[in-house]
Amino acid sequence: MRIRVVDLGLVSPVRSQTVYHAVGYAFHPQSPPTILLVSPTDPYVSIGFHQDAQREVDLDYCRSVGLPVIRREVGGGAVYLDHNQVFTQWIFPRELVPLRVEDRFAWYVRPLIETYRRWGIDASWRPINDIHVRGRKIGGTGAASIGDAEILVGSLMLDFDTKQMARVLKVASEKMRDKVYQSLEEYMTTMRRELGTMPDRDQVVHTYLEQVSAVLGAELELGALTSEEEALAAELDERFASEEWLYQKGGLRESGIKIHADVRLHEAALKVPGGLIRVIVRTHGGRIDDVSFSGDFTLLPALGLAAIEQAVRGLSLKREEIAERIRQAYRALGLQSPGVAPDDFATAILHAVEPAR
């Protein structure tokens, strides 16, 4: 098999998204399987095809700092992107791509994983579409069908700005934003973090192409975009930069903020007779990994709130199990909370995570 490789280097933010769409729309039976390598000149925010921009992204903040927000035709969540990632975009004919989606992602990530391993990073596939290093995410992937082509996209994570990622998301409170940042720091990693130094882009790309050739048993041919692909990309640049495209309503919304395949952050507020309970819950593998309560209720002694938070960590998302553990904390510490029952804290937790279950 021969594969055309087009390394575009640094291009505009919108072109870093439109180029693989253009190659997909221009694809025909005689088109070669193509791998695009590209990084954006400037940072931006990319949102998934099904997302509602106004609900997922802090658009006012993005405008204030000049961050474009661009909708793609591939699914997934909102993500902050910049020149420290090398996007690896595959545009292949359907007959060369595994039929099952899970097999497709496993096939696509193998060269990425082998690249990290050649650099001394112990990467592995985390089904269905993540790459992990000892439990930390170092990259995700996406897929779509565009025209007559099957598309697979992902990246080589040289570095990642977790602080800016947390800032661009639409969240209900600054406390929630702090938790997003803390969770990204805890559950994400990059080549720079693993190696202790910033790797050279060209060297990483060279390793990646070696692994693509070896894994796929393919001959790689450096090439360029055709005039048709260039023209389509220019048309799509205008479309993807339009407000009409950005503000079209997405049909899907997942509960919480995804940190990686197993980790999500959720936030909710519950009105009870004794006041308002606010909760931020981080779940990991279907269990409570971290929780933080606040609100305008009264709890005596005040230090009892930390005890409640500690009591529920590690529990499954079963109402009675959570409620009973909180009742135990009440009894052990003699907690008093007029108008707020122990079970109300359990209800608040489940109110936050319920849509995801």
- Please state the pTM of the whole predicted model: 0.77
**Is there a single domain that holds both residue 216 and residue 275?**
no
**Is there a single domain that holds both residue 271 and residue 215?**
no
**Is there a single domain that holds both residue 267 and residue 240?**
no
Whether 194 is covered by a domain: the verdict is: yes
CATH number at residue 328: 3.30.390.50
**Is there a single domain that holds both residue 203 and residue 67?**
yes
**Torsion angle defined by CA atoms of residues 201, 112, 149 and 71, in that order, rounded to the nearest 10 degrees:** -60
Which residues sit opposite 292 in a β-bridge?
Answer: 280
Which residues sit opposite 157 in a β-bridge?
Answer: 85
Give the end of a domain, one of 246, 276, 304. 246
Q: 219-222 and 2-11 as β-strands: parallel, antiparallel, unpaired?
A: parallel
**Torsion angle defined by CA atoms of residues 73, 85, 88 and 208, in that order, rounded to the nearest 10 degrees:** -170
**Is there a single domain that holds both residue 65 and residue 188?**
yes
**Is there a single domain that holds both residue 170 and residue 271?**
no
**Is there a single domain that holds both residue 274 and residue 210?**
no
Q: Which two tokens stand for residue 127?
A: 């089904």
Of the candidates 273, 288, 276, the residue with the CA atom closest to the CA atom of residue 357? 288
**Is there a single domain that holds both residue 200 and residue 267?**
no
The SS3 assignment for 148 reads coil
What range defines the domain where residue 163 resides?
2-246
The number of domains in the chain is 2
CATH number at residue 224: 3.30.930.10
pLDDT per residue of the chain (357 residues) written in tens, 0 to 9: 899 999 999 999 999 999 999 999 999 989 999 999 999 999 999 998 777 888 889 999 999 999 999 999 887 788 999 999 999 999 999 999 998 888 999 999 999 999 999 999 999 999 888 899 999 999 888 888 888 899 999 999 999 999 999 999 998 889 999 999 999 999 999 999 999 999 999 999 999 999 999 999 999 999 999 999 999 999 999 999 999 899 875 544 456 788 887 899 998 889 999 888 989 999 998 899 999 998 888 888 878 899 999 999 999 999 999 999 999 999 999 998 988 999 999 999 999 997 544
**Is there a single domain that holds both residue 299 and residue 337?**
yes
What is the DSSP code (8-state) at residue 256?
S
**Is there a single domain that holds both residue 242 and residue 276?**
no
